Chain A
Amino acid sequence: MSTVVNKAVNGTVSYVDDRTSIGGFVKFFARKLFPDHWSFMLGEVALYSFVILLLTGVFLTAFFVPSMNLIVYEGSLETMHGVIMSEAFASTVNMSFDIPGGILMRQMHHWAALLFNAAILVHMSRIFFTGAFRKPREINWLVGFTLMILALAAGFTGYSLPDDVLSGNGLRIIDGVLKSVPILGSYVSYWLFGGEFPGEVLIPRLFTAHVLLVPALILVMVALHLFLVFLHKHTQYPGGGKTDRNVVGLPLFPVYTAKAGGFFFVVFGVVALIAAVFSINPVWNYGPYDPSPVSAGTQPDWYILIVDGALRLMPGWIGNFPFEWEFFGFTLSLNILIPALILPGIFFGFLALYPWIEAWATGDKGEKHVLDRPRNVPTRTALGVAIITFYIVTVLEGSNDIIANLFHLSLNDLTYFLRVALFVAPVIAFLVTKRIAFGLQRKDRELVLHGHETGNVVRTEAGEYMEVHRPLDEQEIWLRVNYPNHKPLDIVPQYNEDGVRRKGYGWDRFKLSLSKFYYEERVEPVTPLEYLEAQHHGHGASEHEAIEADADTVSASADSHDK
């Protein structure tokens, strides 16, 4: 039996290979090595969520009617009997209540969308904190960043499709934000909504964007993202034998094909489980869109909360200073423009450009394939935590009414507190994180120089008590001493020996202050000399030979990094 199967398989394979020469590609991919770490699978979560979105989305398009024509509801939901609503809303309710499996598909689609966005941020954080965005991966960071923005666009267009009160309120905010743009705003709003909000064309337009435009862009970007991963090869965590010139790992086939394939089903299972147990976006609770009502607890999905929160944080006045100005009969609504467009613009712009900002400070032109341990780049790690803190403050403010109600707080006081926290909390987070990173680095130094504490206290013949320390093994030492020790840049002086002013000095000054911000305060890795000295102090002369051997290991690992 098995020979028959083998024969059939071989026949098919050679038939295909004879006509496509695909065998070479398969061999290439199958032998591609990947390093192993759980955090390398976070990006896969985003990819798999996207696959689930495509699968469930195909089901939903079969029943969704992207139309704003009004009809009278006649389906099985009692609270909607005889209610006038758009076909978009009616078809959403119908697919939830009258199509077998429809509600599960809707909920899987929506939970997968929340997870898609969350997984992207988690994956992005991993890339950030380990420095996987450094040369040559800056462009791929930008591709990933674009994917994050596209995911926001996909989420928001989809959230708005059912034409319910909740998402309609969100669109009204978008309308207001667009109109706050000087000069262009009202034209852009009229162009998007086909007239005054809400108009009658928006849902079909959003539908096209949601099922065609945005997913196509995401697919292209995902392809580019993965192609660049193959091109650059995967990064790896630091450790013995791992350098910027090799990849230590297992081949794609069979290990990672099995793991990644299995992992898809795990993600699928988690999404299906959550969707089967927990309700999400019950649009029949919110009702068909009507411009007049706004419910308590009106929020966007979590990934848009940064904008909602910023809008809620922004005061209309500070003292007697208004943020809404009028020039020659034109209104400039800075109270909307700043939180809804300028602040997210700066925030996301900073994220997009981060690899270059850090490269200016570091001044290192070499390729980096070994990841950083977050503690070894204290300023970057602290910046990352500060950014996350900033983001969380806006998310909390976006949820302010829910938080106030849940914890019996005053809504007003909570907003005042978070207004201050927006500026103060990231600074505190930065300082605290930096101290923690330095602390961990000092602990590493301590371990390398003096070894592990064993808890065994011995008394010497002279009556002296001391604790026995166990020296670290090679792998442990490699991890702790072998990292790039960045220092502030040396820049060429402003004037040369003839007293002539140098071009580009201002830019260099900027890079110098940036690199001082990053690297002026630092904990240096243990040098071979320090290691040797510590060994001499700690042990008797009889262990001399062993010490020399250890010192060789240290200098060898440091050398290999310099190459």
Chain B
Amino acid sequence: MIARLRFHRAAPYVLLFGLLIVLTAIAYFATTAREATAASDVSADDVMSGEKLFAANCASCHGLDAQGQDGVAPSLVGVGAAAVDFQVGTGRMPMQASGPQAPVKPVQFTDEEISQLAAYVASLGAGPAIPTDEMVDPELGDAAVGMELFRTNCAMCHGSIGGGGALTQGKYAPSLLETEPRHIYEAMLTGPQSMPVFNEANISPEGKRDIIAYLTFQEAGSAGGAALGAIGPISEGFWAWLVGIGLIIAATVWIGARAR
């Protein structure tokens, strides 16, 4: 992981092409077996179709060779299949308009096209692969451990149960209450937009699955009734005034009117 990052950051500097290849190879072998498995599912045809899709839909910003453009779009060399699956699979990419942050919108490609794009980008340089179903299965996670991990690592931006929250300058941490487990995992792995990367030294794959279990647990709903957006005391206070005081003032007017 660290080796890949150094390679990525060192790209602007002059390095021997051969050294790059060696480092890439080392990074490939250093990554876990599952990434190798995931990568091996991909055929050369997929990569070729992906390249065509990329040229037609992504290259205008990211560049024909996916090296990115300064101030427009980042390089995609080494971001891995997971980043593509997250960005394209949640509809964030292709980006509709420039703004503080790419919002979630209807997905623009079929699952097959997304996997082809992912295969192409993965072929450009080693990066995190798409997690397997087992890795993101909430049934196998421990929600209590996930609660503690989420509290320490995620809640400061995403809110206590992932209801979302504001960041600076119009950016935001989106709500996670409707997000698919695979995308949650990929986001932690690749650190999209303002989000930091949570690598495996930071949160282990089991820990990531525990977080997914904690978030999935929230789907059962709030024990106390309607959650009012799960955004804390602001919505509760608003509700107390709107519904509580509203109903009661209506009642005072009603009782007051009866006396005449």
A interface residue numbers (CB < 8 A to B)? 36-39, 41-42, 45, 78-83, 96-97, 103, 106-107, 110-111, 114-115, 118-119, 122, 165-166, 250, 255, 259, 262-263, 266-267, 270-271, 274, 276-282, 284-287, 290, 292-303, 305, 399-402, 404-405, 408-413
Contacts and interface: CB of A to CB of B under 8 A. Distances in A.
Interface in B157-180: 157-161, 163-170, 172-173
B70 to A, nearest CB: 24
A400 to B, nearest CB: 8
If over half of B's interface residues share one DSSP class (helix, strand or loop), that class is named, otherwise mixed; here it is: helix
Interface string B147-159: 1100110011111
A404 B163 CA distance: 14
A279 B152 contact: no
Given A106-B224, A270-B248, A281-B233, 7 more contacts: A37-B256, A38-B252, A80-B147, A294-B156, A297-B234, A299-B234, A410-B169
Contacts of A262: 255
B253 interface: yes
B226 A278 contact: yes
A297 B244 contact: no
A297 B259 contact: no
| Interface size, B (range) | 35 or more
Contact of A287 (B148, B167, B217, B251): B148
Nearest to B147: A79
Given A279-B228, A411-B168, A45 B248 contact: yes
Closest 6 CB pairs of A and B: A296-B165, A302-B237, A38-B256, A279-B224, A114-B240, A410-B170
A267 B251 CA distance: 9
B226 to A, nearest CB: 5
Contacts of B256: 36-38, 41
B158 to A, nearest CB: 6
A110 B227 CA distance: 15
B214 interface: yes
Contacts of B257: 38
A103 B223 contact: yes
A97 B243 CA distance: 26
A119 B247 CA distance: 12
B29 interface: no
B71 interface: no
Contacts of A166: 160, 232-233
24 contacts: A36-B260, A38-B252, A83-B148, A96-B223, A119-B245, A165-B160, A250-B259, A266-B251, A270-B247, A271-B244, A279-B222, A279-B228, A284-B223, A285-B230, A287-B147, A293-B152, A294-B155, A295-B159, A296-B156, A297-B234, A302-B233, A302-B240, A400-B166, A409-B170
Contacts of A271: 244
A401 B152 contact: no
A303 B238 CA distance: 11
Residue in A78, A297, A300 with the greatest tally of chain B CB atoms within 10 Å = A297
Given A263-B255, A402-B231, A409-B170, A305 B237 contact: yes
B97 to A, nearest CB: 13
Nearest to B163: A297
Nearest to B236: A280
Contacts of B251: 263, 266-267, 270
B140 interface: no
A108 B256 CA distance: 26
